[in-house]
Structure 1
Amino acid sequence: MYSTLLTLHSLTRWPVLGSLLFALFWAYRGWLLNKEFTTFDDRVRTIATSFAHIQFVLGLCLYFISPIVSYFLHNFGTAVHERVIRFFGMEHVTMMIIAVGIITVGSGKAKRLKTDKEKFKTMAVWFTIALLVILSSIPWSFSPLISRPNFRWF
């Protein structure tokens, strides 16, 4: 179960990043070019938010069955000084909760605004902040601090 969830969580990062990047492109385009906020634009917002929520649920499930997190929680005094253990036990989960919260708030605010320009601007700003948090907290294969494969297979 752990390896399946780990693989799903790893692979789902790509739809999350892709949908966020597309939503950002679309939001900046709509904002800067004064486009009308259409049903398609609302779907882009919803899809990006939904992928983030799916990833969050997978990550949360993974958090509670991970042997790394279990070690972190049961040996906090020593584990907090071990970079990899601390990253997965505390840093990664905290930053991703913040990022999903930012996406959720930004999506909700954009949904409720009256003018098209405000909707696009709100999406652009909040999703940009969330994307930066996400990018800083993914254990990329090229990271000198925490390195994990970019693609895990079953």
Structure 2
Amino acid sequence: MYAFILALHSLIRWFVLASLLFALYRTYAGWLGNKPFSKFDNRVRIITAAIAHVQLLIGLGLYFISPVVSYFLNNFKEAVHNRQIRFFGMEHITMMLIGITLITIASAKAKRKTSDKEKFKTMAIWLTIALLVILSSIPWSFSPLISRPLFREF
């Protein structure tokens, strides 16, 4: 069960990143090009937030069954000094919660704006910050600090 959820979580990160990048493309194009905020743009806003929230739920489930996190929580004094264990026990979840919160704020604030330019601008700013936070907290395969495969097998 753990291996399946881990592989699913690893796969869905690509959907999160793709939807976030596409949403950013649409928001910057709309904001800088003075375009109208269309129904399609609204759907992109909703779908981006929904995919991020699905990833959050899977990640939280994974957090509570992870042997690494279990070790971290049960051996905090020693584990906090181990970079890899601390990353998954504390840093990854904290930064991802912040990233998904920023996506949620982007969606909620943009929904309340009255002008199209303000909707695009609000989403562009908040989603850019969210993307930076998320990118900094993914255990990339090329990272010298925490390295995990780009794709996991089911």
TM-score by length of 2: 0.99
Whole-angstrom CA distance in 2 between matches of 1:36 and 1:83: 47
2:109 counterpart letter in structure 1:
K
Matching residue's letter, 2:99: A
The count of residues paired between Structure 1 and Structure 2 equals 154
Is 1:38–2:11 an aligned residue pair? Answer: no
Counterpart amino acid of residue 111 in structure 2: K
Letter of the structure 1 residue corresponding to residue 124 of structure 2: A
What CA distance in whole angstroms lies between the structure 2 residues aligned with 1:81 and 1:73? 13
- RMSD of equivalent CA atoms: 0.4
- Structure 2 matches for 1:44-63, cutoff 5 A? 44-63=44-63
Q: Distance in 1 between matches of 2:55 and 2:76?
A: 26
Amino acid at match of 1:150: L
Give the drift of 1:5: 0.5
Which TM-score applies when normalising by structure 1?
A: 0.99
Q: Give the superposition deviation at 1:46.
A: 0.8
Q: Which runs of 4+ in 1 moved over 4 A?
A: none
Percent identical residues: 69
Deviation (angstroms), 1:134: 0.3
TM-aligned CA deviation for residue 106 of structure 1: 1.0
Instruction: Output the CA distance in 2 between the equivalents of 1:128 and 1:58.
Output: 23
Deviations 1:15-58 (A, max 9, x none): 10000000000000000010001100000111111111011000
User: What letter matches 1:38 in structure 2?
Assistant: S
In the alignment, which residue of structure 2 is the partner of 1:77? 77
Q: Which amino acid in structure 2 is aligned with residue 58 of structure 1?
A: I
Partner of 1:112: 112
Structure 1, gaps ≥5 residues long:
none
Q: What is the CA distance between 1:103 and its match in structure 2?
A: 0.5
Cα deviation code 1:46-84 (max 9, x no counterpart): 111111101100000000000000000000000000000
Give the secondary structure class of the aligned counterpart of 2:87: helix
User: What CA distance in whole angstroms lies between the structure 1 residues aligned with 2:141 and 2:124?
Assistant: 28
The CA deviation at 1:122 is 0.5
In structure 2, the partner of 1:9 is: 9
Aligned match of 1:126: 126
Gaps of 5+ in 2: none
